[in-house]
Amino acid sequence: MTLSVQQRGGVFLVAVVCLLVLGICAPFSGHDWQRVMQIAIGACAVLYGLSVARVERLVNRPTAQGLALIVVLGLASAMLAHQPLWALAEVALFVSCGAIAVAFALLRRHGGERLDRALILIVVLLCLIKSIQYLYAGTLAFASAERTLDPDLLLSGFSNKRFYGQFQTFTLPLLALPLLIPGLSRSLKAWVFALLCVWWLIAIGGGTRGTWLGMGAAGMVLAVLGPWGRRWLGWQLAALLGGLLLYWLVFTVLADYLGIAVANGASDRLTTSLSGRGPIWWQAWHMLTERPWLGFGPMHFADIANKIAAHPHQAVLQWASEWGVPSALCVALLAWHGGWATFGVLRERALSAERADLLRLCLFAALVGALVQSMVDGVIVMPNSQVWLALVVGWLMGLHVWRTPPTVEMPLAWAAWKTLGVLAVGLLIFIAARDVPHIKQAQQQYLDAHGGLLQPRFWAQGVIAR
């Protein structure tokens, strides 16, 4: 029996949800597991794309040409890199993220508004599971005989609390959507608002300043996008105050009452320090100036060992130093072009209370927050963040309102894109099959030789320097 396009889309969505739940909520989850999850989602996206014979255009011609130029420049940079296979793996990650974005765009375009409801239900489910895990861990911590409590230890499912914060930057804006929808019952909105308060409590307790910065920037942008944008900001500020109140009650009032000292409190993060980013930013800058045209090669910041990180925690410096300045300019122009087009649609439909328009508003807030956070954090590096970035971009593509009716894509271009996706995912599967069976041993050897902590990039031990 042949499945319809919508049925194949449903299978793809179910597979993605299962992988996301396992990758984010499983107790054994971490960076390496989430990378495997990302590769699996990329494979599902490519298979879904292969099942679609002809599609209406998802991007305009200049955008398609810009993406093709980025891939070509990336391949040229990879061929000249010190370790071409790792450089090609980074290009393959870029292509697989593009395949994921295209799959979500096709899914939304074929599934319509019911897929919007499914997306928000998935976000609520994931945030609810993570909130229950956090509250359960907090209950156990307060009930134990320990006299010191570290809120960082209450976070689970991520190798680093900053990666958890990146996930929250994507989901905090989306979690506010049910509060905006007219006609939704007050009791349901009350439960969603309570969940949003707890989600802010976790964001405050986690102390990820990049999340605070990204949400602040998103709030300022949405404040100029009409009454619904300001209403979104009002709900977020109310939930932030609720989260602050919960944090004070739990980690100050209750902790003092029980005689428990709190280590690594949120107030300790209220600094302007760069947290060690200065040296790695300088390293990226020197790489950029030494090889400005094609860079050192994708992923090759990790080929120059340092004691801090395998990526510079700054998206522009990372792309320019590894892929070259022309490629970085092309990426920046495409990001501006896509963002400005979405901004224009939001301004035109600022008074609309349609669910699709409200979802577009929340997705745009998530995109702005993530892009701002990428200026100080590894949003474009971490596997779970890459998947969510592709999801947000893809869904916005599926929702986009074209000024002229979209035409059917050229068959040759669509066939070339599908072929590229197959090659990219094939390479990633090869690398995973090669490395995963020995990954724990390789990590231990690195720790024995160098000490300290692992530096994530492709894998949790992300340093590729020999």
Can you spell out the DSSP letters for 86-117?
HHHHHHHHHHHHHHHHHHHHHHHHHHTHHHHH
- H or E stretch at 149: strand 148-149
Closest CA to 233 of 245, 216, 247, 246: 216
Q: What is the DSSP string of 259-299?
A: T-EESS-GGGG-----TTHHHHHHHHHHHHHHSTTT-S-TT
* C-beta separation of 297 from 87 below 8 A: yes
Q: What is the pLDDT of residue 452?
A: 75
Residues of the chain with pLDDT under 50: 1
* Beta partners for residue 148, in sequence order: 261
Phi, psi values for residue 270, rounded to 5°: -80, 70
Q: CB within 8 A of 183, min separation 6: which ones?
A: none
Joined together, the tokens standing for residue 67 give 């993406």
Phi, psi values for residue 149, rounded to 5°: -125, 130
Torsion-angle region of 266 (φ positive above 0: left; ψ -120 to 50: alpha; else: beta): alpha
Closest CA to 262 of 388, 122, 153: 153
Helix axes 226-248, 355-373, angle to 10 degrees: 60
Closest CA to 226 of 350, 363, 360, 366: 350
pLDDT digit string, tens, across residues 391-409: 999 999 999 988 776 666 6
Residues constituting the chain:
466
Closest CA to 243 of 193, 204, 214: 204
Residue 31, CA distances (Å) to 158, 175, 369 in order: 7, 24, 22
Closest CA to 90 of 371, 323, 336, 354: 323
Helix residue ranges per DSSP H, 400-437: 411-435
Closest CA to 181 of 349, 346, 358, 363: 358
Q: What is the pLDDT of residue 406?
A: 66
Q: What is the pLDDT of residue 351?
A: 93
Closest CA to 150 of 270, 28, 268: 268
**Beta carbons within 10 angstroms of residue 68's beta carbon:** 14
Q: What is the DSSP string of 338-387?
A: HHHHHHHHHHHTTT---HHHHHHHHHHHHHHHHHHHTTTS-TTTSHHHHH
How far is 97 from 70, CA to CA, in rounded Å? 14
- The pTM of the full predicted model, rounded to 2 decimals, is 0.96
How far is 403 from 413, CA to CA, in rounded Å? 22
**Beta carbons within 10 angstroms of residue 56's beta carbon:** 12
